[in-house]
Structure 1
Amino acid sequence: MNLENLQEKIDTIIISNASTENKLQTICDFLESEISYYDWVGFYFKNGDKNELKLAQYTGEETEHTIIPFGKGICGQVAVSNENFIVQDVSEQDNYISCGWKVKSEIVIPIFVNGENIGQIDIDSHTANTFSEKDTALLEYVCRKLSRIL
């Protein structure tokens, strides 16, 4: 994974004249196509004043998890903890919401705007033990850049 090249492409997407929704979708499509073990890439955002997340743009298989209560699953836990969450083997998590039998690992990074956790990027992989510090660095970069346009 060449972080510098990936970050440059993210910058190009962010500064484009596209709508925010199109930028989010383009980021999903780009990450899924560029990183072989990113099998599902999506964004969840806080659903108004409710203590739940709502699925926004994503790339990958359809999911029935379009609404996730705070505290439930990996995404719901990140909404409460405000911290990155990496699960190298989802079968070892008690509070995991299965998005499909193929998913073996997951990484979720929160997006902060003015210090508030407004959403997150969620990546599922069909490969266990696949996420590294480079993935964390890339996705934190994506979230920092997005925080400027959200």
Structure 2
Amino acid sequence: MAEDLVITKDASKESQYQSIIPQIEALLYGETDFVANMANVAAALKEQFGWFWVGFYLVKQDELVLGPFQGPVACTRIKKGKGVCGTSWAQAKTIIVPDVEEFPGHIACASASKSEIVLPLVVNDEVIGVLDVDSEMLNTFDETDLIYLEQVIAVLLNR
């Protein structure tokens, strides 16, 4: 596939996801390198939605280590159970944070981040990493994001 995306900004959030997910599938089609695929997923999501930060952390021994991302520099390592990412890993569940200032133990990698969604990457019942998305606005993420970002992760993990 050509590395061009058709970005639809003047549509509902649901319509934007419905447009970008097939494009992500096509972008990843035939590519087996996980790092390359994470990089393209982060870029496609950032380009479509314009979020402040989109990226992956991967489990390496007893911590999450920064993987491919789009946005400003980020925390490099996060302990299990710490911050939103570490909590998502420890609980193996998606966490939506409407206001990061209200999340106990939030790790402020960037002071501009106001809301966040973190989804675990689960393979064979084991969390291998997380998808972390941050917004500069409060209350950005909801059930729609959870549903469609889970679909994005399924596309990524089924390569």
Q: TM-score, normalised by structure 2?
A: 0.86
Please state if 1:121 is matched with 2:134: no
Residue 103 of structure 1, aligned match among 113, 129, 136: 113
The reply on whether 1:45 has 2:37 as its aligned counterpart is: no
| TM-superposition CA deviations, 1:55-91 (whole Å, max 9, x none) | 110000011x111000110000011100100100011
Aligned partners of 1:33 and 1:143: how far apart in 2?
A: 17
Does the 8 Å CA contact 2:64/2:86 hold for their aligned counterparts?
A: yes
Q: Where does structure 1 lack aligned partners over 5 or more consecutive residues?
A: none
Aligned residue among 42, 65, 80 for 1:28: 42
- Three-state SS of the structure 2 residue aligned to 1:107 is strand
Once the two structures are superposed, what CA deviation does each residue of 1:19-67 show, in whole Å capped at 9, x if it has no partner? Answer: 332221111111011113x1100001110xx22111110000011x111
Alpha-carbon RMSD across the aligned residues, in angstroms, is 1.3
1:133 counterpart residue number: 143
Cα drift, residue 16 of structure 1:
4.1
Query: What secondary structure is seen at the aligned counterpart in 1 of 2:55?
Result: strand
Number of residue pairs aligned between Structure 1 and Structure 2: 145
Identity of aligned residues (%): 33
Between the aligned partners of 2:153 and 2:65, the Cα distance in structure 1 is 17
C-alpha contact (below 8 Å) 2:20/2:44 kept by paired residues: no
- Cα distance change on mapping 1:18 and 1:83 into 2, 3 Å: closer
Question: What is aligned with 2:3?
Answer: none
Amino acid aligned to 1:27: V
**Cα shift at 1:17:** 3.4
The unaligned stretches of length 5 or more in structure 2 are 1-12
Tell me the SS of whatever aligns to 2:31.
coil
